[in-house]
Structure 1
Amino acid sequence: MSAVQRLRHPTRRGVALSIAAIPALVLLYVLILIPFTPGIGDIRKAKIEQPAQIYSADGKLLAEFKPTNRVWVKLSDISPHVIDALISTEDHRFYEHHGIDFRRTAGAALHTFSGDRQGGSTITQQLARNLYPDDIGRAPTLTRKLKEAITAFKIEAVYTKSEILETYLNTVPFLYNAYGIEMAARTYFDKSAHDLTVLESATLIGMLKGNSYYNPVINPERALDRRNIVLGQMVKYSRLSVAQFNSLKGRPLRVDFERQTEPPGPAPHFAQQLKKWLIAWADANDYNIYSDGLVVRTTIDARLQTMATQALTWQGNQLQSIANAAWNAHGACSGHKDLFDAFIRETPEYRTARDSGTSDEDAIKHLSADRTFMKSLCESKTRVQAAFIAMDPRDGQIKAWVGSRDFTQDQYDHVSQARRQPGSTFKPFVYGAAFEQGAKPDDTFPDQAVEIPLAGGEVWRPSDEDAPSGRPITLRDGLAYSRNRITAQLMETVGPAKVARLARAMGVRESPLEAVPSLALGTSPVTLKEMVSSYSTIANEGAWLAPMIVTRIEDRKGEVLAEFQPSRADQVMPVASALTLIDTMRSVVNKGTGSAIRTRFGIRADVAGKTGTTQDNADGWFILMHPQLVAGAWVGFNDSRVTLRSDYWGQGAHSALPIVGDFFQRALRSRLVDSHVKFEQEPPPGMFETFREKLRAWMEHLFPSSGKSETPAPAPRMKPRPAPAAPVVENAQPASEASAPTDVEPPQIISPAASQPPILPTPGQASATASASAPAAGTSESQPPVLAPTPALPSDSAPASQP
């Protein structure tokens, strides 16, 4: 019999074989799909999924890296009304099946074939979709249903019924970035899942049919109807009495809505930088930061972090009040039309208006008249920003990191992402390069006009606030009082290329440096982290160490997975030169532009530092060195076209220094930094060097010169250092808000003592020191030193007023 005839006249045996082939083919297809569904091991792992926890060096929790905004709660901590509503509505035979409710599936299939599509998924099947959306998918296909069923059987084999309910209720989404019943209860009813009433439970379970469609916030009528359907299901399956239903069904929703946001933690910018590094480490070592329960021990000291945050917040708030007054922020920055017209042209609203055919003039006019728009633009542009970082110079460990005034308002990290001109904080590189070549702090240059030819026929003319006096100024005083003309002459002697090389070796290793004469005054943008790292190299006697953020990584059981040590030290500056530079920078805080560290904050420890201010006071800097800790702060605005508009408050000595001073004052008082520890002193000169100096002085007396030294640098004295490398945070690409390089650091205007603005009070300062906290006359950046042949000022004295 031919095949065609067999099809026309099938035998009983043939029909039976054909019918039997259908389930056989389905079974074969199921067997083929099994390897494409999550394995038992993955399902067991999902049951104990834990996010990475980040701890400070002193054991405080800094952050948890959760994939979603979820708080896991035990089933016993969830209201029983939630469980009753869920089982009654979604899967009333939940305790009777093993993952698939065949009766419900068959009924759903019959309804679907008749045109009334219904879902037949059990709670376990829904959990499979929630846990493994990528493996199972969501398309309404036979393949997806089979994968879902296979995974549900596996889940039932691993989980108890209680565990399935707990996992389901903690993973189901509820809109507004709320995952799990606990976050849903907080979001919609401002309470814990344990306290949900019958009505509230029915409302939330009703949302599972369609979160958006039954959203009680924007669709309250639909949500109310759906809630009552859930209550009816609870009556149907004897989890609610008819009397209770009749008394509840008419009540309103009473939603108390509030979006739940993840708390930023005590070091949010640091945590974000760490997260980037940890993801790369986890990928390389086959771990998941969201589920494997990693415990990361960092270098941050939570106590110092709190002090840094408090100091920055306090000073930032004070400066904000000054900025508001200067820019008329409450009047939507009226009076600054030209600049704000430029800002308007950079907004999406302006571009939208122009794309619709509106002329430039009309678009500007319309948006300028919109007071709400202008107030928002004004507030965003004139919001004072600040950043702070502290590092242990002995091992490179970062101890505190504050990336902005408020992480919730500005998540941009001004420590490691923002590149800004460092101003005079860059000058120590010039002096350090000179000391390497044999220069001494007592060498002098004449205070005279400087003209340095540049490529293209231009001439660079650095200036100070006063006219050239022609008097000799020592290198010590040139750095202490931040004299631009002295630094420019020193730069001309040393050479920009050597200064740039030294700065890169000491820690400015990510930002490009332009080797031009104006680099001496900090015209190449850098990051605060790079500058503090460089100053740590100085404090570490010329040995550079990579910034370190992690000391150890453990698993959830406490087993050490990785341990990190400080990087191998790189002696980039001779020890003697570094000690000379430290001693010279002591003068900055003892009598120069950073003297408020002594006079206002009463810090008597052995410290050295440098202030910095850039063109038009766009950036204020201050970095302070102690043998155990180096800390630096930057203050400015995200847009460098905006400044504090004050020649007093715009200076680093008055904007950034108080942050560092307040921080160090707290750290010393709490004894987290030892006030008795001192830098090593520069070794006394040997007999040969003493003779050489006398000979050089005699030759200069016979043949007067500009005072430039040609003495070769002494050989470096290497120190033993540990070798294994530790993780570091990489810098980002240059930030768009960095100010354009300028050739001249601006002259700083010194107000008479009687008209100076009052020093802002600092929290924690004793009232007994109030009289000593006022600044001495002429402590602003670039203040000229005393040039008359008078006895040297005591180390804690304020600089004398301008001659």
Structure 2
Amino acid sequence: MHKKPLKHHINLKLLKQKWVKWLLVFGASIFVFFLSIYLCTLWGVFGKLPTTQDLKTIEQAQATQLLDCNGKLIGKYYIYDRQPLPFNAFPKHLINALIATEDVRFYEHNGVDNVSLLRVFFKNILLGNKSAGGGSTITLQLAKNLYGRKQYAMFSMLINKFKESIVAKRIERVYSKEDILTMYLNTVPFPDNTYGVESAAQKFFNKAAKHLTVEEAATLVGTLKATSYYNPRKHLEQSKSRRNIVLQQMEKYSYLTEVATDSLSNLPLTLHYKSFNHDVGLAPYFRAAIKKEVLTILDTLKNKDGEHYNLYKDGLIVHTTLDSTMQAMAESAMKMHLKKLQKTHESAFGKLAPWLSNSKLIQSEIKKLARYKTLKEAGLTTQQISDSLAVKQPIELFSWEGDTVRNVSIIDSLKHYLKFLNTGMLSIEPSTGAIKTYVGGIDYRFFKYDHVSQSERQIGSTFKPFVYTAAIENGMKPCTYFPLSAVTYTNFDDWTPTNSGNKNEDPYINYNLEKALSNSVNTIAVKVFNEVGIPKVITQAKKLGITKDLPEEPSLALGVAEINLKELTGVYASYVNNSLPVKPYAITKITDKNGRVIIDFKPEVSSEKAYSDYTRQIMLEIMKTTVNYGTASRLRNVYGLQNAIAGKTGTTQNNKDGWFVALTPKLVTVTWVGNDNHAIGFKTTSIGQGANSALPIFANFYKQLNANSKFNTITKSMFEKPKAQVLQDLDCEPEKRDGFLKRLFKGKKQKKKKFDVN
């Protein structure tokens, strides 16, 4: 009879203990904290969660289509492919491997496996038994795959976990277990930035998912635990060990017999690696650039429900100016030339190539690697880092002869990629700026940097026409003569510009402006620049549409300024567009899935002429001479092009960049070739000059245009007829030699002068 009161008394006494009170308060606080975070997540405080109705539309989500100027499909943007593998296309052993390894209670829970969570809590957290698993489910992983994770100021992991659990339960209410497995296997990320089991099967085993063997399916499922660590391409033995664990899991849950598990575990892990990448196909750099632009545009637009449009599921249609046929020609021309040029480039350096022998350069590039920085932050010594980066592993390497998987180290891979020349090429309609071709590099899979939109490089001699334009615009006559001889400018560190390849040129020969520019004479370009004055040239460049701040120094005449290729193309368009610069553009309109226009775009053409009609016609005639008789004459005598073409070649100091600008009445094309690493140039000027490195891409491209009658309106168009005054003012001898008295007087003069900066 006395036991109950005594027990009650003890409980009351215990509750009065301070440490018990604090423990209860602490426990209640933790509970309230977690409940508050959960409710805030549920109520959308940390961002709107997809509703049940939103989830119902996942399978109906429509990709955004990217169309060329003729309505031809050239790309899609999507998260969930509208045409994934159906459930019956997955082999049964793939499903078994997935469930046995990732979520053995998949068919029993409602998206969140409370039993597994309790097991993880007691075994992992309380008892420290890491074999208890992670408590995640396939549905939770699907929620993460579909909607990603966000970073918050605090408690990011907790908030994301709560979000995923809420979404997972909603997914389970909307979809069947088969539907969930189908969505999961079509969206889950595998190694090497591969999404979906079909792409992974094609990439690692060169076969469709339905043909995967048991051990191959187990290999892919095994990588899901850590896609980098268990990447079979990089870590074959680790991946094989993980594969065998998956096989053991399949045996444990009666999907395999013990005999079968032993037999399969003893098999070698054999890859048939083949890149299966969405970065391939027509115009990959263009598609990537348009994606960024469209995402920015959509941030400013809302649909009838007041929500922002979704690039990946709203079925939008993006209409562009690109001509897919011309684009295919441009890419073909680029590959044809760069493959040959790369071979010449490597042969010229031989064993002394900087990517092989310049240890200072190589070490500098190694220190830029993400892997190097990670190891450095982890506290490894320089030697330990070097040893780690020297470990060989199977890596897919780009090659003009065909991509290969080779057993190389990270350092070997770096040296391999350092040697490659890259390129940028843009063709626009000069009257509007409409982009017709867009080549941002040699291969988007391996070289993501876009040399059309992102890159800024020294433009070399392609700046000279802007100097001459300023000169003509400020009253200089085309038949003004300047001597070839070099001059030292004392107020600029005794700078002495010289001409390439002419060590024994006659100092008494004088060229008029036409001959000087068409032959890209450095010494005369600087003298013309000095005559006009730095401020006037820079002002003229701004009128042309150059937005970059230009260096106020005489070397600007030779193109030391770094300017974006796209901007340069719009500037040059003015010479065949009534003196009006344009801004290259690619998107004409975006419509919704029903064809309703939600935004459209008009050409951005300058409203004011950058220079007079007289100046334009003079400059165009001079640049015609560049093609007919000057530095770009190989267009005529090597490639046999007889079209109406004007142009300008460009080569920068130390042969780092090669340029060619091609002007035709209906198309303006700019090409650049060089190494991504500014420290590596061409071995010789004969290889690196714009006429050899960049011009052939345009030549091969235009030859293809000529062969297709569809483009006769471009290839057969003619330039405007110059006015009589223009022809009259150009009617003079290209060069003249100083007379005896002038030669005598000049010989006694010091070849030094100051540069006019006013």
- Give the TM-score range, shorter chain: 0.7 to 0.9
* 1:636 equivalent in alignment to 2:656: no
Q: 1:295 to 1:460 in 2, by over 3 A?
A: same
Q: Could you tell me which amino acid in structure 1 is paired with residue 323 of structure 2?
A: D
CA deviation after TM superposition for structure 1 residue 202, in Å: 5.5
Tell me how far 1:615 sits from its aligned partner: 2.8
Q: Does the 8 Å contact 2:512/2:735 carry over to 1? A: no
3-state SS of 1:534 partner? helix
The structure whose Rg is larger is 1
Question: CA, structure 1 residues 393+130, in 2 after alignment: closer, same or farther (shift >3 Å)?
Answer: closer
Is the alpha carbon distance of 1:187 and 1:591 closer, same or farther for their aligned partners in structure 2, counting shifts above 3 Å? closer
Q: How does 1:350-429 map to 2 (within 5 A)?
A: 380-429=417-466
In the alignment, the residues of structure 2 paired with residue 104 and residue 522 of structure 1 have an alpha-carbon distance, to the nearest angstrom, of 67
String of CA shifts for 1:362-388, please: whole Å, max 9, x gaps: x9xxx9xxx999977765554333332
Q: CA deviation at 1:609?
A: 0.8
Deviates more, 1:644-653 or 1:447-456: 447-456
Match of 1:315 in 2: 337
DSSP-derived class of the 2:444 partner:
coil
Tell me if 1:268 matches 2:278: no
Q: Is the 8 A contact 2:277 2:445 kept in 1?
A: no
Whether 1:537 and 2:559 are equivalent positions in the alignment is no
* Structure 2 equivalent of residue 304 of structure 1: 326
1:681 counterpart residue number: 721
C-alpha deviation, 1:590, in angstroms: 1.6
Residue 445 in structure 1 maps to residue 484 in structure 2: no
For residue 705 of structure 2, the aligned residue among 667, 670, 691 is 667
Q: Secondary structure at the match of 2:457?
A: coil
Equivalent of 1:502 in 540, 558, 582: 540
The residue type paired with residue 441 of structure 2 is S
Alignment of 1:165-244 (within 5 A): 165-198=181-214, 200-201=216-217, 204=220, 217=236, 218-231=238-251, 233-234=253-254
Aligned with 2:298 (options 259, 267, 282): 282
| 1:527 correspondence with 2:539 | no
Counterpart residue number, 2:518: 480
Distance 1:155 1:551 in 2: 38
**Partners of 1:402 and 1:787 in 2: how far apart?**
43
SS at match of 1:644: coil
User: Aligned residue for 1:40?
Assistant: 52
* Alignment deviations for residues 591-630 of structure 1 (CA, whole Å, 9 cap, x no partner): 2221111122222221111122233433322211001111
Matched, 1:151 2:173: no
TM-score normalized by structure 2?
0.73
SS of the equivalent of 2:481 reads strand
Alignment of 1:576-587 (within 5 A): 576-587=614-625
The answer for the alignment partner of 1:430 in structure 2 is 467
- The alpha-carbon deviation at position 541 of structure 1 amounts to 1.9
Task: Between 274-283 and 447-456, report the one with greater CA deviation.
Answer: 447-456
Match of 2:263 in 1: 250
Give the SS at the match of 1:346.
Answer: helix
The number of residues matched between the two structures is 660
Q: Corresponding residue for 2:361?
A: 343
2:85 pairs, out of 73, 90, 106, with: 73
**For the structure 1 residues 556 and 161, does the alpha-carbon distance in structure 2 shift closer, same or farther, using more than 3 Å as the test?**
farther
Distance in 2 between the 1:651 and 1:55 partners? Answer: 36
Distance in 1 of aligned mates of 2:169 and 2:532: 76
Q: Assess, with a 3 A threshold, how the Cα gap between structure 1 residues 256 and 411 changes in structure 2: closer, same or farther.
A: same
Measured after TM superposition, the shift of residue 581 of structure 1 is 1.5
1:676–1:459: structure 2 CA closer, same or farther, 3 Å change rule?
A: same
- Give the corresponding residue for 2:656: 618
* Aligned counterparts, 1:9-24, within 5 A: none
Percent identity over the alignment is: 33
Q: Which runs of 5+ in 2 are unaligned?
A: 12-31, 302-307, 391-407, 739-758
For the residues of structure 2 that align with 1:564 and 1:154, how far apart are their CA atoms?
40
What's the CA shift string for 1:378-428, capped at 9, x where partnerless? Answer: 655543333322111011012222233333443333334333332322221
Partner of 1:515: 552
Corresponding position of 2:399? none
SS in 2 for 1:168: helix
- Secondary structure of 1:328 counterpart: helix
- Report how far residue 440 of structure 1 moved: 4.2
Gaps of 5+ in 1: 11-24, 698-706, 708-783, 790-803
Question: What's the offset of the Cα at 1:547?
Answer: 1.0
Cα distance in 1 for residues equivalent to 2:555 and 2:35 = 78
* TM-score, reference length from structure 1: 0.69
Q: CA–CA distance in 1 between the matches of 2:8 and 2:297?
A: 64
Classify the secondary structure of the residue corresponding to 2:691.
helix
- Structure 1: which amino acid aligns with 2:673? V
Task: Look up the equivalent residue of 2:263 and give its one-letter code.
Answer: G
Structure 1 residues 461, 656: CA separation in 2 closer, same or farther (over 3 Å shift)?
Answer: closer
Amino acid at match of 2:722: E
Given residue 318 of structure 2, which amino acid in structure 1 is its aligned partner?
V
Q: Look up the match of 1:57.
A: 69
- CA change 1:785–1:484 in 2 (3 A) is farther
Residues 785 and 189 of structure 1: is their aligned pair in 2 closer, same or farther, counting only changes over 3 Å? Answer: same
SS of 1:592's equivalent?
A: coil
In structure 1, the partner of 2:94 is 82
CA contact (8 A) 1:49 1:291 kept: yes
Q: Deviations over 1:529-558 (max 9, x none)?
A: 332222111111211111102122233454
Q: Label 1:658 to 1:249 Cα distance change in 2 as closer, same or farther (>3 A).
A: same
